[in-house]
Chains A and B, each alone.
Chain A
Amino acid sequence: MNQKLKIADKEFTSRLFTGTGKFSSSKLMRASLLASESELITVALKRVDVTNDEDDILTHLNHKHINLLPNTSGVRTAKEAIFAAELSREALQTNWVKLEIHPDPRYLLPDPIETLKAAEELVKLGFVVMPYIHADPVLCKRLEEVGAQCVMPLGAPIGSNKGLKTQDFLEIIIEQSNVPVIVDAGIGAPSHAAHAMELGADAVLVNTAIAVSQNPISMAKAFKMAVESGRMAFEAKLALIKNQAEASSPLTSFLN
């Protein structure tokens, strides 16, 4: 049994976080997310009709193991993000927020300056802030300093399925961080997810690779297993990779 992951006051058995976009139906979304056994599922506030008790997405996410993680997708500034977070806290009764500020609508790359500003303010307002950011080690430390409860650096541009293109920086972030590191965006295959977990990431967030696959339910299970396996390997301490064979005659034997 892998160690549990703790973010703010919540403990998670599953280290696979998922999203709700791009599925071909709400029914299939629900079945896939349940198959993933994910306990933290992000939903774009802009897709939800908060005035409707029977909103199609929300009703399909109603399950005792599922915690909702509203995200601020669509905002372009810190000010808009704070407005969105307040709205989601009121409408969805949660103070958790995935802070996404991507003014660039093409690659949806996060704005580090606005994100830091918004994170600082939201923490003061009592939110559990999970910021989506570039794999920038200094920014991660700055976010930690203002009270972000975790950091969510990207592996590659969102939806690209390219895997851990930012690996060198992710390793520095994981090494330095005092808060959980969740690799978000770019994870396109279970092997990418396992790799992130082996590197010591605390969790991964996967959406497109599950939602757009030919069989989302099977793919969700595959990711679940990959994340568990990668974490188990990390906890069991992976053998170091050796670049060359060890010399058969020790170099320092003359000392004996």
Chain B
Amino acid sequence: MSHFKTLFDTYNWDFILQSIFNKTEVEVKQALAKEKRDLEDFKALISPAAKPFLEEMAYKSKVLTKKRFGNTMQMYAPMYLSNECQNICTYCGFSLTNKIPRRTLTDAEILKEVAFLKHKGYDHILLVTGEANQKVGVDYINNAIRLIRSHFSNITIEVQPLDQDEYELLIQNGLYAVLVYQETYHRDEYKKHHPKGKKSNFDYRLDTPDRLGKAGVHKIGLGALFGLEDWRADSFFTALHLQYLQKTYWKTKYSISFPRLRPHSGGLDPKVEMTDSDLVQLICAFRLLDEDVELSMSTRESEIFRNNIVNLGITSISAESKTNPGGYSVEPQSLEQFEISDERSTEKVVEMLKSRGLEVVWKDWEYFSY
């Protein structure tokens, strides 16, 4: 059986980082001139040497995205089901040691949140929980999916990593996609930020997309949490992971997210800063590497940034998000996982997208198998 770890272990973090910083202007120009780009080109495009070429990268990214995805933007909404968590993650508001009121939504509460989001127009939903096997294990998630599946045409989860047979069960019951971010591909740094709980197992998390691929999930979302370690090296490993998965689980779609550390209760300052310009560079570099991969943008980013990035490679976007369980209608005051930045209403974001020549897509999936 194939595992990404086998490939991953042949790479050395410091060596990769050095090779990115060694990229030259000539290599950037070569990468830009190519029609098909490989990981070496990707390194050049995320390197400091590519900074003067940002405008050209943005233009190319825009054109490629338009060709593949058209003048459209997929809308989705996150729905937090629980802030229970047995992990310690230094950067997260739900971390075990944070003394906050813990809350897990009941069926009735979930349906109340569903009604709110449906009213706003959403048809693609992202369910989020912390990692707490007793309270929000696979049974709870399975129940939630069955409860809401007649209301949404597309259900994604961002929850604790599960075993293959557990994913198979959820897929059977209507699960479409799973987002699982490695946070950082730097093994030692990962240990520092995840000292306790199941999440401290780096290898189990790294192997999660493999288990998902084997379970036959429709889409896998990858990403790193920028701020923990050098964003360039983490992005290289994300791209390496992506290409491995595409070759191995060729029936599955992939998406990339770009979360940057946001303020939260008990906060952590980023170790490595990623500027707006860096983030634009990275999004464009991913598009130039891969015409087909979905690129997703959350409300972590500011209004101005989001207004401008929607035409440069992003294919799906959320709006008006709440990162606390029951945040939309049940208990708006409960503690959030992180502060969002763009607080505009869904209507305002839709208006912005239309003014930028984008057709808003609410529904792009239908379950054909049950």
- Collect the chain A residues with CB atoms within 8 Å of residue B358's CB: 24
Asked whether A84 lies within 8 Å of B67 as measured between CB atoms, the reply is no
Q: Does A141 sit within 8 A of B, measured CB to CB?
A: no
Interface residue stretch chosen among A101-109, A164-172, A225-233, A234-242 = A101-109
**How many residues on B have C-beta within 8 angstroms of the other chain's C-beta atoms?**
26
Asked whether B250 lies within 8 Å of A23 as measured between CB atoms, the reply is no
**How many angstroms from the CA of A214 to the CA of B143 in the assembled complex?**
47
- Of residues 172 to 219 in B, which have CB atoms within 8 Å of A's CB atoms? none
Contact with B along A40-67 (1 / 0, CB 8 A): 0000111111000000000000000000
A103-B251, A105-B251, A106-B292 are known contacts. Are A49 and B67 too (CB-CB below 8 A)? no
Asked whether B67 lies within 8 Å of A21 as measured between CB atoms, the reply is no
Q: Does A116 sit within 8 A of B, measured CB to CB?
A: no
- Collect the chain B residues with CB atoms within 8 Å of residue A104's CB: 250-251
**How many angstroms from the CA of A46 to the CA of B153 in the assembled complex?**
9
A22-B72, A24-B358, A49-B363 are known contacts. Are A212 and B66 too (CB-CB below 8 A)? yes
Asked whether A46 lies within 8 Å of B67 as measured between CB atoms, the reply is no
Asked whether A161 lies within 8 Å of B67 as measured between CB atoms, the reply is yes
Interface residue stretch chosen among A71-79, A122-130, A189-197 = A71-79
Closest chain A CB from B270 CB (angstroms) = 33
Q: What residues of chain B have their CB less than 8 Å away from a CB belonging to chain A? A: 66-72, 123, 153, 246, 250-253, 292, 354, 357-359, 361, 363-366, 368-369
Asked whether B366 lies within 8 Å of A212 as measured between CB atoms, the reply is no
**How many angstroms from the CA of A161 to the CA of B123 in the assembled complex?**
31
A contacts with B: majority SS:
loop
- Collect the chain B residues with CB atoms within 8 Å of residue A103's CB: 250-251
Asked whether B354 lies within 8 Å of A23 as measured between CB atoms, the reply is no
B contacts with A: majority SS:
loop
User: Smallest CB-CB separation from B291: which chain A residue?
Assistant: A106
Instruction: Give the tally of cross-chain contacts (CB within 8 A).
Output: 71
A22-B72, A161-B67 are known contacts. Are A87 and B364 too (CB-CB below 8 A)? no
A-B contact pairs, 19 of them (CB 8 A): A21-B70, A22-B72, A24-B358, A44-B364, A47-B363, A72-B368, A74-B366, A75-B368, A76-B251, A80-B369, A81-B368, A83-B369, A84-B368, A87-B366, A105-B292, A106-B246, A106-B292, A211-B70, A212-B67
**How many angstroms from the CA of A45 to the CA of B366 in the assembled complex?**
7
Q: Does A25 sit within 8 A of B, measured CB to CB?
A: yes
Asked whether A159 lies within 8 Å of B364 as measured between CB atoms, the reply is no
- Of residues 165 to 208 in A, which have CB atoms within 8 Å of B's CB atoms? 208
The listed residue (B67, B368, B369) touching A208 by CB distance below 8 A is B67
Asked whether A22 lies within 8 Å of B69 as measured between CB atoms, the reply is yes
Closest chain B CB from A19 CB (angstroms) = 10
Closest chain A CB from B127 CB (angstroms) = 20
The listed residue (B363, B364, B366) touching A84 by CB distance below 8 A is B366
Asked whether B363 lies within 8 Å of A46 as measured between CB atoms, the reply is yes
Asked whether B123 lies within 8 Å of A23 as measured between CB atoms, the reply is no
Closest chain B CB from A209 CB (angstroms) = 10
User: Smallest CB-CB separation from B68: which chain A residue?
Assistant: A159
- Of residues 95 to 140 in A, which have CB atoms within 8 Å of B's CB atoms? 103-107
